[in-house]
Structure 1
Amino acid sequence: MTETETPFIVVGVDGSEQSIKAMRWAIEHAQLLDARVRIVGAWDIPGTIYLTPSHVEADYYRDASQAFDAAILEGLKGLDAHGVLVEKELIEGSPSKALHDAARGALSLVIGSHGRGSSFPGMHLGSTASYCVNHAPCPVVLIRESTT
């Protein structure tokens, strides 16, 4: 089976605790299904960039990329991801659209029920769960905050 034929799970990561839990769940679940995992993040340039020329698009991308990579590394700590191909993709644009588009053809889309949009510059994942539940092209798994 080639990579393009291998079933995959998409997981949204914004650096919040719930998104880290969602990533870990997706990887553990992918092991059971012999699937690969696509970790997707999104970033956007705030409208105020045009008022403050000190920050350019490359700066926002760099900051978002560093935060995205740090979140992934944090989520992988102590996790046995043996046998799971993990891919990452940081997309410019809204998290809702990025996850919707990335989930085409996926076995499932895994997200935290509440994100932390302020963890990356320009990211707003708080309302993304609602959008994905209503519009995703595949089943959606919501990882809730632990009550224990």
Structure 2
Amino acid sequence: MSDEATSVPRIVVGVDGSESSKAALRWAVGQGKLTGGVVEAIIAWDFPTAWYGLAPPTDRAPVDYQKEARTMLDQAIDEALGPGPGRPVDLRPVSAHGHPAAVLLDAAAGAQLLVVGNRGHGGFSEALLGSVGQHCVQHAPCPVVVVRGSGRGA
């Protein structure tokens, strides 16, 4: 038997705090429960970008961005699934540095499934599918599920 045949299914889900990402997390947890899989809830973070060749002033260390992203992820998980222990699956929160699409595609290597919300916190709210979701659908190394936001409040 190969390691792949005996390993627990892994589901990767992108979470950015948006309603559609929370809906994607709920869906991924439900799927993980059905398949006996683990769910990796991933938030991506990056350093502030430059404006017109100038970097924004900051006195914050890179560790601050990592910590803030993890705090935001933990809050989104609690809002989507309820606080505390007793979750129906092994849930593994991950805060990773990089562009969201690249982070999710890297994490999806070897995963059974990649789950994304249809819209994140990006710029064009009228778009059917956000740029990160579109990129993941086109380039993922595994099947991708796009979950439409439920409209349910936090």
Question: How many residue pairs get matched?
Answer: 140
Larger Rg: 2
What residue is the counterpart of 2:126 in the other structure? none
What residue is the counterpart of 1:47 in the other structure? 49
Distance, in Å, in 1 between the alignment partners of 2:65 and 2:31 is 33
Measure how far apart 1:144 and its partner are.
1.1
For the residue of structure 2 that corresponds to 1:15, the secondary structure is coil
How large is the Cα RMSD of the aligned pairs?
Answer: 2.8
Measure how far apart 1:55 and its partner are.
2.9
For the residue of structure 2 that corresponds to 1:55, the secondary structure is coil
**Unpaired segments of 5 or more residues in structure 2?**
124-128
What residue is the counterpart of 1:59 in the other structure? 64
Contact 1:24 1:79 in 2 (8 A): no
What residue is the counterpart of 2:101 in the other structure? 96
Distance, in Å, in 2 between the alignment partners of 1:143 and 1:52 is 37
- One-letter amino acid matched to 1:141: V
TM-score by length of 2: 0.79
Greater mean alpha carbon deviation, residues 105-114 or residues 64-73: 64-73
Quick check: 1:144 aligned with 2:148? yes
Contact 2:12 2:41 in 1 (8 A): yes
For the residue of structure 2 that corresponds to 1:25, the secondary structure is helix
What residue is the counterpart of 1:133 in the other structure? 137
For the residue of structure 2 that corresponds to 1:87, the secondary structure is strand
Distance change >3 Å, CA 78–CA 91, structure 1 → 2: closer
- One-letter amino acid matched to 2:27: W
TM-score by length of 1: 0.82
Q: Show structure 1 runs of 4+ deviating over 4 A.
A: 78-83
Distance, in Å, in 2 between the alignment partners of 1:138 and 1:79 is 31
Distance change >3 Å, CA 126–CA 81, structure 1 → 2: farther
What residue is the counterpart of 1:26 in the other structure? 28
**Unpaired segments of 5 or more residues in structure 1?**
119-124
Percent identical among aligned pairs is 41
Q: Structure 1, residues 42-68: CA drift from partner, whole Å, max 9, x if none?
A: 000012494413233222222222111
- One-letter amino acid matched to 1:45: F
Distance, in Å, in 2 between the alignment partners of 1:143 and 1:25 is 8
For the residue of structure 1 that corresponds to 2:76, the secondary structure is helix
For the residue of structure 2 that corresponds to 1:45, the secondary structure is coil
Q: Structure 1, residues 80-103: CA drift from partner, whole Å, max 9, x if none?
A: 965511111110000001100101
For the residue of structure 1 that corresponds to 2:26, the secondary structure is helix
Distance change >3 Å, CA 46–CA 146, structure 1 → 2: same
- One-letter amino acid matched to 1:112: G
Greater mean alpha carbon deviation, residues 79-88 or residues 95-104: 79-88
